[in-house]
Amino acid sequence: MAIIHSVNNTMEELINQLKEYLGSRIEDVRRKGAAELEIVIGEMEDVDQLSTNLKAHILEIVDQDTIAKIDFVTPDGKELYSFSLAQ
């Protein structure tokens, strides 16, 4: 039970950190699975630029041991880009 609680806390912290870092460039960050998140971006946002920027600065945002899959999606859930932490 402690491991599940720890994973839940880690994912909630990651969501909050991503929301703070990405700010108004995104519409939302939501949990998709145990170790998977969706970053919802608006139609006018450049997913390539946003994902490149996030990957370049990810270790400033999260611990290097954090494992998660991050998907960039449209508001209707269409996946645009995906990458994994701790690759």
Predicted pLDDT at 4: 41
Residues 30-60: tens digit of each pLDDT: 999 988 999 999 888 999 999 999 989 888 8
- What's this model's pTM, rounded to 2 decimal places? 0.85
**In angstroms, what CA-CA distances link 74 with 27, 56, 58, 87?**
9, 22, 21, 24
Q: Kindly report the CA angle at 43 between 30 and 62, in degrees rounded to 5? A: 35
The arithmetic mean of pLDDT across residues 49-72, rounded, is 88
Predicted pLDDT at 65: 79
Q: Kindly tell me if the per-residue pLDDT of 64 is higher than 90.
A: no
User: What's the DSSP call for residue 4?
Assistant: H
Q: What does the alpha-carbon distance between residue 56 and residue 51 come to, in Å, rounded to a whole number?
A: 8
CATH classification code of 2-84: 3.30.70
Residues 4-19: tens digit of each pLDDT: 434 567 889 889 999 9
Beta pairing, strands 79-84 & 69-73? antiparallel
